[in-house]
A and B are shown apart, each in its own frame.
Chain A
Amino acid sequence: KAGVTQTPRYLIKTRGQQVTLSCSPISGHRSVSWYQQTPGQGLQFLFEYFSETQRNKGNFPGRFSGRQFSNSRSEMNVSTLELGDSALYLCASSLGLAATGELFFGEGSRLTVL
């Protein structure tokens, strides 16, 4: 079956702009989690959505937001981009809540902020 699909794979933005990233989970999976991966900080948890509701949130400023649609697809948005937002953004899906089972990761969206 198809894996987790993230779009776009690569994008370049400038400071102050906003960006929207998309994640399509594995069919039947109801949870989508988002992580930011940087060389210095490693993988940091952004938030998790399950059945269109945010179930858990990491320690990121309010510029980072997300949502989940009825078909379980999820989007995350970063507003007023800063240089430090340059990172690989990973999405992971799971059948139930992320904490209860295995996470399946997409290949990520690599964001560069100039």
Chain B
Amino acid sequence: GNSVTQMEGPVTLSEEAFLTINCTYTATGYPSLFWYVQYPGEGLQLLLKATKADDKGSNKGFEATYRKETTSFHLEKGSVQVSDSAVYFCALRGDSGGSNYKLTFGKGTLLTVNP
């Protein structure tokens, strides 16, 4: 079945540092890829997505590029802020019907940004 592996946290950075959170996936066909973010005490929110190879999703200064050759969808931000402190989830949606046609999440990476 489909699976998502993301780097284990926690990740602690200083404000204005560069952020990379690695995400790789296992899936057949052409899945869609997502990053969700969970701020403290809140539910998950969609951060960005990419639906086909070489697509780049971007939002709020975050970017991720769908790399089919390396089965990766790494999240990056050039300059993090304290307000970016949250748990980040990489997710995959299979492209076929049946049991694969649902969202599969990674375990999440806790990011803490210090002033």
Residue contact A107 to B41, C-beta cutoff 8 Å? yes
Contacting B44 at CB < 8 Å: which of A45, A48, A99, A105? A105
Residue contact B103 to A99, C-beta cutoff 8 Å? yes
Q: Which of B19-27, B64-72, B77-85, B105-113 contacts A (4 or more CB under 8 A)?
A: B105-113
Residue contact A108 to B43, C-beta cutoff 8 Å? yes
Residue contact A98 to B43, C-beta cutoff 8 Å? no
Task: Name the A residues within 8 Å of B99 (CB-CB).
Answer: 56
Interface readout for A41-58 with B: 1 if CB under 8 Å, 0 if not? 111010010000000100
Residue contact B44 to A103, C-beta cutoff 8 Å? yes
Residue contact A106 to B108, C-beta cutoff 8 Å? no
Q: If the complex has contacts A56-B99, A99-B101, are A107 and B42 also in contact, measured as CB distance less than 8 A? A: yes
Interface residues on A, range: 20 to 34
Q: In this assembly, does A81 line the interface, its C-beta being within 8 Å of a C-beta of chain B? A: no
Q: Which of A87-114 contact B (CB under 8 A)?
A: 90, 92, 97-99, 102-108
Compute how far the CA of A104 lies from the CA of B46 in the bound complex, rounded to whole angstroms. 8
Compute how far the CA of A105 lies from the CA of B99 in the bound complex, rounded to whole angstroms. 21
Task: Name the A residues within 8 Å of B102 (CB-CB).
Answer: 33, 45, 48, 56, 98-99
Task: Name the A residues within 8 Å of B43 (CB-CB).
Answer: 3-4, 90, 92, 104-108
Q: Which residue of A lies closest to B46 (CB)?
A: A102
9 pairs of A and B residues whose beta carbons are closest in the complex: A105-B43, A42-B107, A43-B105, A105-B44, A99-B101, A107-B43, A106-B43, A102-B46, A56-B102
By a beta-carbon cutoff of 8 Å, the part of chain B in contact with chain A is 36, 41-46, 49, 89, 93-94, 99, 101-108
